[in-house]
Chains A and B, each alone.
Chain A
Amino acid sequence: MSEAFVPKLLGRSDYAIIGAIVEPKARVLDLGCGEGELLAWLAENKRVDARGVEIEGSKVRQAISRGVSVFHSDIEDALADLPDQAFDYVILSQTLQESRAPLKVLREMLRVGRQAIVAFPNFGHWSVRLAHLFTGRAPKTKLFPHDWFDSPNIHFFTVDDFEGLVQLQHWTVEKRIFLQGARQVTLLPNLFAEVAVFLVRSS
């Protein structure tokens, strides 16, 4: 298994990958941007035109007070307003599994942006498979730490599931990066990746 260490950005390895992907001075939209840490970093270090969407009011306030232009809204409503190809990158980090209509969100991301950066926890990771197999219960692991009854996650999917959807939609994967902790995984990502980051464009 060939491995490369990924230094963390703002305490997160997926942010480091996203930070490396985004080109300087790009137009970036971060969906579910939280308190805007990633956008503020990109604005400062990559001089990007940074915009965010966040549903939680207290996080919106934090983000705006950080100087990031954030729209207080849920993701689906927020995308519908925007014109086609308004952004170079539309980022969705650790949120696709929480959205009601993942395909609709992805399609909208690719309408609004030239490219989509999607990071998600891999439901195919061996620890999840083992937890399910041996406990016979909804898996509760480091990656999916919630009890089934109070989990924000409503769609569970694996690296291979995502690849399958990309194929079905005739999208193109520009980059795919798989992480286990702070290490990059190349071998059997569907089994060994905890987190996947895909850079996708529409054709």
Chain B
Amino acid sequence: MITETQIVQFDSVALDCGSTLSPVDVAYETYGELNTRRNNAILILHAFTGDAHAAGTDKINGVAGWWDSMIGPGKGFDTDKYFVICSNILGGCRGSSGPASINPETGCPYAMSFPPVTIPDMVRLQKMLVNHLGIERLLAVAGGSMGAMQALEWAVAYPDAVAASIPIAGTARHSPQQIAFNEVGRQAIMADVDWNEGDYYGKRPPARGLAVARMVGHITYMSDASMREKFGRRLRDRDQFEVESYLRYRGNQFVDRFDANSYIYITKAMDYFDLTAGRPSLSAAFDGVKSRFLVISFSSDWLYPSYQSLDVVRALRGRNCDVAYCDLPSTYGHDAFLVNVSEQTELVRGFLASTFRERS
């Protein structure tokens, strides 16, 4: 499956902060065919540093999509049956509008003058894309990590536009521990002199700070067990632990494809996301939802621990919502949602098939 990222431009999008972003770009890819009844569309929601290239092989650089193991012909999200969409989030740096985009009023990148964005803002823009593609109601929205937050937001914000929601390894709101790790990442970037208050475009970017932020991130995505298995105490180049060179490699690699200001904006959006905000309880957030849910967590995920998924499930059950929940055994930590493919395929395939049969 050869794929190509496309970009659509909308006149404007209204943001939670009160301002309007105009114009606004959305980068997206689609796989499979939309059927004539337009009821087989699934929106895939990427995690923090993901992008629109979820599946297939990129036409230009030959890179495989970040969830290629789950999306494609005969896979969990079966593109022989379903029309699958994935877009880059608002505030990102992979084709959709974000801090690195050009502000039409100044002709320069927005940098830190880009308006603060929220998870609901991201979802609002996704809704515009979905409507633009001629789809009134999605069969499902699905995503891991920050994608799970968006999947929940979709079900709450647009109850009539989504038949099923699949939040994987996610939460209804960040814990102080999650906020703390994000803050370390942000401070690493901002402590880099090259960050220059966010004004580094066309100059030297804060590569060292961004790489350190990514190294911290990678530690939180793994588990004690998976790190022991993957690296042990093995040495490389005499006195370097393998885990050290791995983290440095991943950090440096990240700098080439990610914008430091986007890192700051998106982590803030995750930290502020809270489905209980302004409501008496999490259950109250689900008062008007009409979709069914498949919630998945992983036993070794300590960044988005199973209890956070369980909180969501319990709140949904408190409103007698149709929810399936499974805590999958895994040693891969938070990365499990990208690694434990066969179990997720099994769950997603059956859940989508029955949703399509009964609710589309």
**Interface of A with B (CB < 8 Å)?**
49, 51, 57, 60-61, 64-73, 78, 81-83, 86
**Interface of B with A (CB < 8 Å)?**
292, 294, 313-314, 317-320, 322-329, 343, 346-347, 349-351, 353-355, 357
CB pair B343 A83 closer than 8 Å: no
Contacts A81-B317, A82-B318; is A67 near B326 (CB within 8 Å)? no
Contacts A49-B322, A82-B317, A82-B320; is A69 near B327 (CB within 8 Å)? no
> A83 to chain B: which residues have CB within 8 Å?
318-320
| Minimum CB–CB distance for A27 against chain B, Å | 8
> B328 to chain A: which residues have CB within 8 Å?
57, 61
Whole-angstrom CA separation of A86 from B313 in the bound complex: 16
> B355 to chain A: which residues have CB within 8 Å?
67
CB pair A64 B347 closer than 8 Å: yes
The chain A residue sitting closest to B306, CB to CB, is A72
> B346 to chain A: which residues have CB within 8 Å?
61, 64-65
The chain B residue sitting closest to A69, CB to CB, is B324
- With contacts defined as CB atoms under 8 Å apart, how many contacts are there between chain A and chain B in the complex? 61
> B319 to chain A: which residues have CB within 8 Å?
83
CB pair B326 A64 closer than 8 Å: yes
| Minimum CB–CB distance for A109 against chain B, Å | 15
> A73 to chain B: which residues have CB within 8 Å?
325
Whole-angstrom CA separation of A81 from B281 in the bound complex: 13
Whole-angstrom CA separation of A66 from B326 in the bound complex: 14
Contacts A82-B320, A83-B318; is A72 near B325 (CB within 8 Å)? yes
CB pair B329 A69 closer than 8 Å: no
Contacts A61-B343, A64-B350, A83-B319; is A72 near B357 (CB within 8 Å)? no
CB pair A60 B318 closer than 8 Å: no
CB pair A66 B350 closer than 8 Å: yes
> B323 to chain A: which residues have CB within 8 Å?
69, 71
Contacts A72-B327, A81-B318, A83-B319; is A65 near B347 (CB within 8 Å)? yes
The chain A residue sitting closest to B354, CB to CB, is A67
Which A-B residue pairs are the 10 nearest by beta carbons?
A: A67-B354, A65-B350, A81-B317, A69-B324, A86-B320, A65-B346, A81-B314, A72-B326, A64-B324, A60-B326
